Amino acid sequence: MNVPTVQVIGIEKSYFRTRALDGVSFDAGAGITGLLGPNGAGKTTLLRMMATVLAPDAGDLRLLGWDPGKADERLAIRRRLGYMPQEPGFHRNFTAFEFVDYVAILKEMVERKARHDEVRRVLALVGLEGVIGRKIKALSGGMRRRVALAQALLGDPDLLVLDEPTAGLDPEQRLRFREIVSERSTDRTVILSTHQTEDVAALCPHVVVMDEGRVLFGGTPRELAEVARGRVWLAAERAPGAHLSWRTGDGDHRNIGQAPGGANLVEPTVEDGYLLLVGHRAFDEEAA
Amino acid sequence: MTTAWHVEPEILARYSAGEVDDARAFSLESHLLACERCRAALAATGGEDRERLDRSWTRITEMLDAPRPGVVERGLVWFGVREHVARLLAATPSLRVSWFAAEAIALGFAVIAANASASRGRGTEAVLLVFLVMAALIPVAGVAVAYGRGIDPTYEVGLASPMRSFGLLLIRAAAVLGTSTVLAGAAALALPGPDWTAAAWLLPSLGLTLACLALATRVRPLVAAGSVAFTWILVAASVSYGRADRLIVFRGQGQFAFVFVIAVSAWVLARRRDAFDQGVME
């Protein structure tokens, strides 16, 4: 890994008796790091800490070399941060332009012309130049997510924190999103959460798998797939010893678990590795 | 194509040098589109350079792309509020027309009740007490819904931005306090037999608003406002109960007490202002 720009060291966080993060540690450098995990894994809690809006109960966090627990360093981080929350809120009576302009003002862009140019630039980046005068409440869910992404891109931030950025996007929009984010990831740090393994496989050179507030895996998508090597096989029926099994479009059953002798082993995917790690929780969620 | 009139050479030269105002520049540009002779004259001045064209295009784009601000935002700019501050204020729930209407209706009822009571020859003190207690609380309610978690839909994005949350809260609180004061002041003028009591809510409203902001450094704004309102109503009711002078809480000692509340609240707020920027209280 290159020089870490994000350092997460033994982070803990509880909400009353529920432990959301239980000693989470990992490093991330320039490029895209994907946090993968089922709902309730603690991804959003961790990303909110990286966005400086939530403080950990214990542990250390370093963002771009600064400590978000100190007021002056937190301000320095916020000046270089772009954040897209999981459920971005909007002033619905604002137009797309006005909303992004509003966030630009919060980001200390006071000079009107330069600010408006920047607002137009980010709205064009996410392909919304045609609807900038339309009220937020009249936009589709996918368009609103793109407005939320546009505000995060304001000022070309060094650290981009995106919580479930591809949720609600259609395949074409998802491709466009990958293009936008990957273009920005060469010398900047992007941390995104998702439970879409294809996003991770397509975008992230580094992936962290979380479940129940703990890190289960950290490495490349290829290494995540390797976790399942020798443990994925196809069969005509659901194998009794398989942890997970589902019928594919070809009519075969794809089984994950301890393969029996003579099984028809297949090349594992990122999804296989992920499912093997998070087990039934993720499988149940995807089935739902 | 050409037209019946042509631009004076001196004006063309000034336009070429970028020395005419926007309104005249637009007018000239409309004419130039239709008049070949003036375009040729402009070219002869050495004008129509790339830079000027770019500036014109940017200006046109700005006009077309930047949507016309809403009523509140335009009103604020008209009153001299800076454009970017007006946009921050336009997102304040308690600076919307519907909120002003609700305030006006509440105050209107109190004024009507006081006038009705006076016209029937009854004492107006009880109704006046309700008016004064309510007028002092209106800005507290406005500040409670001006900014904060669960109030502002962009709260988390705002918190993650470099603009100080305390600064944003103060800007909005000041605007809410100002508009509420104007509304309550106008209502007070319509009270029967105006005397000094018509203005007796001013210090309490400032004191309660600051107390609410000071408490909001510890708890959510809505909880802070609820606590302040509950305490205020309880104090006002218990102090006035059974007294010959029901407005005693608004007399000299009461006003002095609010000077003390203002001083303490301002001190707490100044000391704990960073709490607004620290992150979500969970």
Mutate to test the interface with A, among B157, B166, B276 (most CBs of A within 10 A): B157
SS3 sequence of B138-155: HHHHHHHCCCCCCCCCCH
Residue of A92 and A106 predicted with greater confidence: A106
Best CA proximity match to B44, nearest among B23, B15, B20: B15
Contact residues for A160 (Cβ-Cβ < 8 A; gap 6+): A81, A82, A83, A152, A153, A181, A184, A188, A189, A190, A191, A192
CB contact under 8 A, B160 and A83: yes
Sign (positive or negative) of CA dihedral A196, A201, A207, A209: positive
Mutate to test the interface with B, among A70, A87, A106 (most CBs of B within 10 A): A106
Q: How far apart are CA B85 and CA B171, in angstroms?
A: 8
Greatest pairwise CA separation for chain A in angstroms:
70
Residue whose tokens read 């002033």: A91
Q: What is the pLDDT of residue A159?
A: 95
Nearest to A101 among B62, B87, B168 (CB): B87
Q: What is the pLDDT of residue B279?
A: 65
Token duo for residue A65: 């070399």
Q: What is the pLDDT of residue A245?
A: 85
Q: Which one-letter amino acid corresponds to residue B35?
A: C
Residue B70's closest chain A neighbor by CA?
A94
Greatest pairwise CA separation for chain B in angstroms:
91
Q: What is the pLDDT of residue B281?
A: 47
Cα B132-B137-B138 angle, rounded to 5 deg: 100
DSSP one-letter string for A171-239: HHHHHHHHHHHHHT-SSSEEEEEES-HHHHHHH-SEEEEEETTEEEEEE-HHHHHHTTTTSEEEESS--
| β-bridge partners, B164 | none
Percent of chain A with pLDDT over 90: 48
Q: What is the pLDDT of residue B17?
A: 76
Q: What is the pLDDT of residue B100?
A: 79
Q: What is the pLDDT of residue B207?
A: 93
Cα A124-A130-A131 angle, rounded to 5 deg: 105
* Average model confidence (pLDDT) across chain A: 88
Contact A284, A248 (CB under 8 A): no
Q: Does B93 touch chain A (CB under 8 A)?
A: no
DSSP H/E element including A102:
helix A96-106
Token duo for residue A59: 């542990």
Residues of B in contact with A18 (CB under 8 A): none
Q: What is the pLDDT of residue B50?
A: 62
CB contact under 8 A, B279 and A54: yes
Contact B36, B1 (CB under 8 A): yes
Residue spans of chain B under pLDDT 50: 281-282
pLDDT surpassing 90 at residue A63: yes
Distance of CA A112 to the CA centre of its chain: 32
Taking the model in full, what pTM does it have?
Answer: 0.79
Residues of B in contact with A83 (CB under 8 A): 156-157, 160
Q: Could you give the ipTM of this predicted complex?
A: 0.86
How sure is the predictor about A9, in pLDDT bands with cuts at 50, 70 and 90?
Answer: very high
CB-based burial, A195-228: b 16+ in 10 Å, e otherwise: bbbebbbebbbbbbbbbbbbbbbbeebeebbebb
Mutate to test the interface with B, among A15, A44, A53 (most CBs of B within 10 A): A53
Considering just the CA atoms, what is the radius of gyration of chain A in Å? 20
Q: How far apart are CA B23 and CA B27, in angstroms?
A: 6
CB contact under 8 A, B163 and A108: yes
Best CA proximity match to A190, nearest among A212, A211, A205, A168: A205
Nearest to A55 among B66, B168, B279 (CB): B279
How sure is the predictor about A202, in pLDDT bands with cuts at 50, 70 and 90?
Answer: confident
Residues of B in contact with A103 (CB under 8 A): 154, 157-158, 161
CB contact under 8 A, B280 and A74: no
Average pLDDT rounded to a whole number, residues A22-41: 91
Q: How far apart are CA A80 and CA B197, in angstroms?
A: 53
Residue whose tokens read 């931030």: A157
Residues of A in contact with B154 (CB under 8 A): 88-91, 102-103
How many contacts (CB atoms, under 8 Å) link A and B? Answer: 101
Token duo for residue B13: 């030269």
Residue of A170 and A215 predicted with greater confidence: A215
Nearest to A81 among B87, B153, B160 (CB): B160
Average pLDDT rounded to a whole number, residues A145-151: 93
Residue of A4 and A53 predicted with greater confidence: A53
Distances (CA, A) of B165 to A116, A138, B231: 23, 29, 27
Q: Does A71 touch chain B (CB under 8 A)?
A: yes
Query: Would you tell me the crossing angle of helices A112-125 and A96-106 to the nearest 10 degrees?
Result: 120
